[in-house]
Every structure is written in structure tokens, then in C-alpha cells.
Homo-oligomer: A and B are copies of this chain.
Amino acid sequence: MLEHEVKIPAMPETGYQIRIGADILGSLWPEIESSFGKLNKFIVTDENLVSAGHLEKLTGQRNIPTYVIKPAGETSKHINTVISIIEAMEKVKLGRDTLILALGGGTVGDIAGFAAAIFKRGVPVIQIPTTTVSQADSAVGGKTGVDSSISKNAFGAFWHPAAVYIDVATLVTLDERQFRAGLVESVKHAIIADARYFDFLETNLDSILQRKTDVLETIAYKNCRIKGEVVEVDPLEKNQRRMLNYGHTIGHAVEAASGFELLHGEAVAIGIIAAGMIEIEMGLSQPQRLERIRRILEKLEVPVKLPGNLAENQLIEIIKHDKKAVDKWPRFVLVSDIGRVYSQNGQFAVEVSRELVEKILKQL
């Protein structure tokens, strides 16, 4: 037997800029050209962005090859859409010297980010998120994923963007339900990482709901900073990054059990309440903390109770099959205080018994 070891060399630290402003979409192109001028450009967006006029704002009079996802939304987050995008790039003779621009919400970001990860072994992508949820969450961090015909996020890659541009003015035209549900990720960020940010959200909620762009800029910045700092420590989600999963274990189960009738943020709101109830039961919290959180979520008009048609045993079954489950039961992210994640032996996802979760679901 002969042996040889192949070393995979260390990779130096790199990074990317997030730029946040109001009404910046129309002036981005020259900036993109000055940073990425050598690359051909290809835009991925969806029909909502086209009808809102955002695509035109971005490109101006320029003629940039573009793939418009139809229909907009989750049903298009499928491997077949990625294949169509890559074949569209090939048809206009684009090669590995191409920069993909993802203009849209989380679905567009996921689809375009994954297409960038696998086109000719990877090309750069710029994320230009246009929804509360994608500006707060999915545009930063490099996770991409699309569904197979069997399950969600069956295909995916870690693929960091080359830059992120956030124009909070794109939120002004966002559908009210989407706008509010997306803010739940901001509440989550405040709960896990920043008590003063939580105070800010409480104090400024009216201005946020009126979509005043100065507060929207502030929360976009806070969200990116919190998410960015967590991702920096643990980009491949070995431990710390799991804290971003706060409210998500039960939230994902509620979202799936609702047949995706509930929006992601709406389901996570219920998951955040459930996490708060678990914390009280485990002696990590007093009821007042949960009441503060509940008040902010109620003001967002997102659900804080389980819809009556969801059976607890169905939720338990889904939780048992959580993708992070080990021996058919996942760990949970909890906080010991607003702004501070509870850890056990250095682990940011901790054991919570199935019995306790069943009890909470009955009360929820």
C-alpha cells in the first residue's frame, strides 16, 4: 500500500461590503461597474420587481441580459429554475467571467446565489435584497438553497456574495403582510444579540410601520451587523451561527404544518413565543420578558398563537425530522436574557426534552 497526502492550503481572510441607503438603486450601476467592470453582468429578478419598476431603476437605459423568475415566490425556488437560469446564461454566451446580480427577496437571492455557486464551478454574485426578510437576514451570510421535487433546500451551497446593496426605499412598495412578517427577523436579532436594539424597536415601531426610511436604514444596518458578526465567527454553522435559529425549530414545524400558508416570519413569531415559554419553564426567564416580546409581535400583527387547525402531534413529528435533529430530536436555541443566548458547555443549541415541548405546544 502506497500513501500520499494532498494538502488543501489555508485560505486567507476575505470580506465583502454591505452598503445601505434610501433610494440608491438608481445610482448603483456606476458603482458596480467601477468595482466589477471587467466582468459581464447578468441579472436575476422576478416579475414583482419588474412591475414595481425596480429592475428599470437598477439598469436605467442599459441593456443587461436578465432572467425574470415567474411566478415570483416560493414555488419557483426549485432546481429547475436554476437550470433554466444557467441555460439562459449559456444562450447569451456568458462564461466564467460573469457577475450575477440578484435583485429581489429571499427566493431570488437563494436561486441566484445558488446559480452563481455552481455555474462553471462558481462565479461572483451581488445580492440586492428588496424585502424586510431578505434585507434583515438571507442576503448576508452566504447560505443558498433550492428545493427538489421531494423536499425543501435539498440542493444548496455556501456561497458568499461579492457585495450586498440594500435600498430601503424598495420596502416602501412591499405588500403589508410581507413587510410585517419580515420584521420578525429583526425582533429575533434583537432578542439574541442586542438589548438596546430591542429597546429601539419598541420605541420606534410606529415609524417603522409607517416605513420611514431613516429608521428602516437604521434597522437594516443593525440587522446586517448582528448577522454579519455571527456569520464571521462561524460561517459554516458548526455552533455559534445556530443562534440565528432562535424561534426557528418550532417555527419551521409550524410553517410546514400550515402547508406554507403562514409566511416564514409569521411562523417564526409563534416559534419565538414558544421559545420564551420554554425559557420560563426552564427557569431562564420571568414572564415579564415574554410579555415584552409578545407585545412587539402583536403590534406587528403577526400570529402569537398556534392556528387552531394545527395538531400538536403533527408538529412533534415534523420537529423529530428537523434537519438538525440527532437521534430524532433537535436541540433548541434559548436566551438567558434579551441580547444574550443561553449556552451549555459552550454549545449554543441546548437540550430541551420532548415532554416539555409537547407541554408548551398544548398551551400555545
Chain A contacts to B: CB under 8 angstroms: 1-21, 24, 79, 83, 86-87, 90-91, 95-96, 114, 117-122, 140, 142-145, 148-151, 153-158, 160, 164, 217, 220-221, 224-225, 228, 231-233, 235, 323
Contact = CB atoms under 8 A, between A and B. Distances in A.
B2 A21 contact: yes
Taken together, the copies of this chain in the complex come to 2
Given A86-B155, A120-B323, A145-B121, A8 B13 contact: yes
A359 to B, nearest CB: 28
Contacts of A91: 150
A225 B86 contact: no
A235 B8 contact: yes
**Residue in A24, A144, A154 with the greatest tally of chain B CB atoms within 10 Å:** A154
A221 B4 contact: yes
Nearest to A140: B6
A86 B148 contact: yes
A156 B121 contact: yes
A91 B117 CA distance: 25
B86 A154 contact: yes
A229 to B, nearest CB: 8
A122 to B, nearest CB: 7
A4 B231 CA distance: 13
Contacts of A225: 4
A11 to B, nearest CB: 4
A89 to B, nearest CB: 8
Contact of A90 (B5, B12, B96, B154): B154
